[in-house]
Amino acid sequence: MTCSVPLRPFGLLLLALLAQQGSVFAGEATEPGAYAAQRVVKLYGAGGIRGLESYQTGILVSPAGHIVTALSTALDSEAIDCVLDDGRRYPARLLGADLTRELAVLEIDGENLPCFSLSTTTPRAAVGSRVLALSNLFGVAVGDERVSLQHGVIAACVPLRARRGAHEAAYRGDVYILDCTTNNPGSPGGCLTDWQGRLLGMLGKELRAEPSGVWLSYALPADELARGYEQVLSGKPPVDPGAATAGDYDPRLLGLQLVPDLLDQTPAYVETVLPESAAAAAGLEPDDLLVAVGDRTINSQRALRQELARLLPGDSIRLSLIRAGAIVTVDLGPLPARPEPATAEEPQ
């Protein structure tokens, strides 16, 4: 999928020319950065251990207080604190999450809040566009202190094809790749705008290539953001963000329904085996405890999902499990392909 050409090139030209005479915007919020910053919130949730940040950024998208942000462990908390640009503090509720786009929608009890309006028809910004990134990076801004403003250029607009083991990302659609470091702790959920302060996208989470150690700075384009927001609002039930670890392989595709994953390291006990599935054919039973995929041991449901994700569709699966105190090994045959994520393929 390729990106479309620049957005409203001539309108932008006009804006640029007027801005240079200082006449398009008036007052304090005219500064593109300030305008955007008033629509960005600082979020504080769970975490703070082992490189998992407890804080991130969000974007106000409705005057009544809807906030889109990146789906992360920070939101996996009873209490999420939201601090507006002017320092006002609100408790935030998780309305729901779009696991595909890895975004979450939060809600605060606001009124007449400054916000961006999301639209699924927002054109993509051209490669080479200069952009501003606003985020709660490193948590350096507190209270009414303004979030950090960075600048950069859209280096590419490409699908985030996270090769197995390379990046952990469920999302496979287009992202803006940025030439500046915007994936610092606290940046996820931050706001990407053009130099007129108009919303272009949302800063993605911290992604690091396992083999090279390179960190990727990317943003979800505004049209995808709008689709994710609409999907969440469409009434699907809230999703437990803990279960939403990106890039994992869902064992239900093999016919395995495990016990509810409530802990950090919930053991991979089988709750039920779906009929006419690979698991049923291989003779798996409820209460089996899965302990290895191939020759790699697993100690949790999360590890199971991750190990399965390392396999390519068609690879043969061998599971080791403990049943009645004995280790049993079963072959499940070739790994079924996962369904393609529902990225919106817009006619370009």
The only residue of 1, 140, 233, 262 in contact with other proteins, by rule CB under 8 A: 140
Which H or E run includes 309? helix 301-310
- CA R_g for the chain: 22
Is 143 a binding residue for other proteins by CB under 8 A? The answer is yes
CA distance linking residue 67 with residue 284, whole number of Å = 43
Considering only residues 191-250, where is the footprint of other proteins by CB under 8 A?
Answer: 195, 215
Q: By CB under 8 A, is residue 34 in contact with other proteins?
A: yes
302, 291, 162: which is closest to 245 by C-alpha?
302
- Least Cα distance to 335 among 234, 226, 254 occurs for 254
29 interacts with other proteins by CB under 8 A = no
Please tell me whether residue 144 binds other proteins under the rule CB under 8 A: yes
Does residue number 146 form part of the binding site for other proteins (CB under 8 A)? yes
The answer to the question of residue 86 lying near other proteins (CB under 8 A) is no
Strands, E assignment, the chain: 40-44, 55-60, 66-70, 80-83, 89-98, 103-107, 130-135, 148-159, 174-178, 191-194, 199-203, 207-208, 215-216, 218-221, 256-258, 270-273, 289-293, 296-297, 316-323, 326-334
Nearest CB to other proteins, comparing residues 196 and 300? 196
Q: Based on CB atoms, which residue is closest to other proteins, 177 or 254?
A: 177
User: Is the Cβ of residue 50 or residue 163 nearer to other proteins in the bound state?
Assistant: 50
Q: Based on CB atoms, which residue is closest to other proteins, 141 or 232?
A: 141
By CB under 8 A, which span of 62-70, 72-80, 140-148, 270-278 interacts with other proteins? 140-148
Given the rule CB under 8 A, which residues bind other proteins? 4-14, 16-17, 19-20, 22, 31-34, 37, 51, 87, 123, 126, 128-130, 132, 137-138, 140-151, 180-182, 184-185, 195, 215
